[in-house]
Amino acid sequence: MLNQRHARIEGALVMIGFGSIGRGVLPLIERHIDFDRSRFTVIEPLADHAHILRDHGIRHLQVALTEENFANVLRSLFPTGQGMIVNLSVDVDSIELMKLAQEMGVQYIDTVVEPWPGFYFGSSLPNADRTNYPLRERVRELGKAYVGGPTAVSCCGANPGMVSWLLKEALLRLASDTGVKADPKGREDWARLMQGLGVKGIHVAERDTQVSAKAKPLGVFVNTWSVDGLLSEGYQPAELGWGTHEKKLPPHGHAFDHGPGYAIWIDRPGADTRVRSWCPDVGPQFGYVITHNEALSIPDYYTVWEGAKAVYRPTCHYAYHPCNDAILSLHEMNGAGKRQPEQHILTAEEIVAGGDDLGVFLYGHAKGAMWYGSRLSCEEARRLAPYQNATGMQVTSAVLAAMVWAAENPNEGFVEADEMDHVRCLEVQRPYLGSIECHYTDWTPIQNRINSFAEDRDDQDPWQFTNFLAV
């Protein structure tokens, strides 16, 4: 499976950005996808890793894409109107790239809806407008204009992306384990299945345990993946899909005043908003409610409608425990009130132990709660492919799967991971995910209080979001 060719990309192949994810996905593309090497270009303004591109025989176009030049640069690389754009950049507007890709007739993939600079930091926009909800709604509305156009996969890495495919496997496993017959064919069937199983909500529950032999230096933000990516999304307001079982908004919580209304936002940064959650081995833990597209796409996809009324929708949000060095870095940054002057991404060679557990935590059903996901060690990631750690490999292999699916389904218009064939995508990705495991637990968020303090707590329904929220 590690040498199987899955697809061929005709025409030009252009990767925008060559950070940790771009470097990790390159050998996977070479291993599993046929392409014309003379027409593979990586657009990356920095020269830090240009030697890797030279070693692989890939053209490096050293330029920063801006509002003024992006269209001309990309048009010059697609003279025949065939090929694929793989956007792994920051500060390049995804929506503008999607529109251009449709006009040129080429396929497109990204891992996040990224705006031009000025959206994440120092923005004059109201906080409600700095959430992912309006960004996603713009993409969904745009997609209506390009039905049947070149496939444009929006927001497909590990999460958002892979977790949506794992969620469907988890639902089928839960149905089997509770004696429920399940053969969903489309969105409505999947939503009815989740409703019938009694799932009240989903955490995208992640624990990064990777550690370096070297202590984190003062003044350096250390992480196992993009520092810019973590800080960009971490300093947007906390945001979550809002379930129909919820009784009240959390403190500083707000509903959106436009669109379908499947989500809410909290007027504080996601990287400073903690929830109680659960992952294998460590069990109960704190996670950050960092905004992600899957926290929006999952509740939207699994809404059950009766006419214009949503009669069922699960709550959904990210519950992320980064590596210990990233936790220390966030504390340092929040205390100082400014970013560290340096940043560093731990390489596979620096990491001496640990891995990444990333899955979906389904709660409120007949068996209480269930975690289903990928458990991948850094040691295994190193063995599987170069330029990887555990966190990166869960992302890069999902990008690979999205590329394969897009190549095999070239005219699907705008899609999200929830709308893709989860069986095919996981077939491509599974060899890189370590162990896929299912864990049931009787834990609830109202357990394990060390002392008694005043809190907003609902003992009648342990699965209320206010019970998860740690203030």
| Per-residue burial over 425-439, b = 16 or more CB atoms within 10 Å of its CB, e = otherwise | bbbbbeebbbebeeb
Q: Each residue of 251-273: pLDDT tens digit?
A: 999 999 999 999 999 999 999 99
pLDDT band at 450 (very low <50, low <70, confident <90, very high): confident
Element (H, E) at 135: helix 132-143
In a domain, 82, yes or no: yes
CATH number at residue 48: 3.40.50.720
Last residue of a domain, one of 129, 153, 177: 153
Q: Each residue of 262-321: pLDDT tens digit?
A: 999 999 999 999 999 999 999 999 999 999 999 999 999 999 999 999 999 999 999 999
In a domain, 2, yes or no: no
Residues 194 and 229 in one domain: yes
Q: Each residue of 337-373: pLDDT tens digit?
A: 999 999 999 988 999 999 999 999 999 999 999 999 9
Residues 371 and 350 in one domain: yes
Last residue of a domain, one of 91, 118, 153: 153
In a domain, 398, yes or no: no
Last residue of a domain, one of 107, 132, 153: 153
In a domain, 356, yes or no: yes
Residues 178 and 110 in one domain: no
In a domain, 197, yes or no: yes
- Report whether the peptide linkage leading into residue 160 is cis, meaning its omega lies within 30 degrees of zero: yes
In a domain, 323, yes or no: yes
Q: Each residue of 371-384: pLDDT tens digit?
A: 999 999 999 999 99
Residues 248 and 386 in one domain: yes
Residues 45 and 189 in one domain: no
Domain range for 210: 162-393+431-470
pTM: 0.97
Residues 292 and 187 in one domain: yes
With contact defined as beta carbons under 8 Å apart, do 164 and 295 qualify?
no
Rounded to a whole number of angstroms, the distance between the first and last alpha carbons of the chain is 46
What size, in residues, is the chain? 471
Q: Tokens 């495991």 correspond to what residue?
A: 437
Total domains present in the chain: 2
* Contacting residues for 166 by C-beta, under 8 A, at least 6 apart: 359, 360, 372, 373, 374, 422, 426, 436
Whole-number pLDDT of residue 453: 83
Task: Give the C-alpha separation, 49 to 450, whole Å.
Answer: 48
What value does the mean pLDDT of the chain take? 96
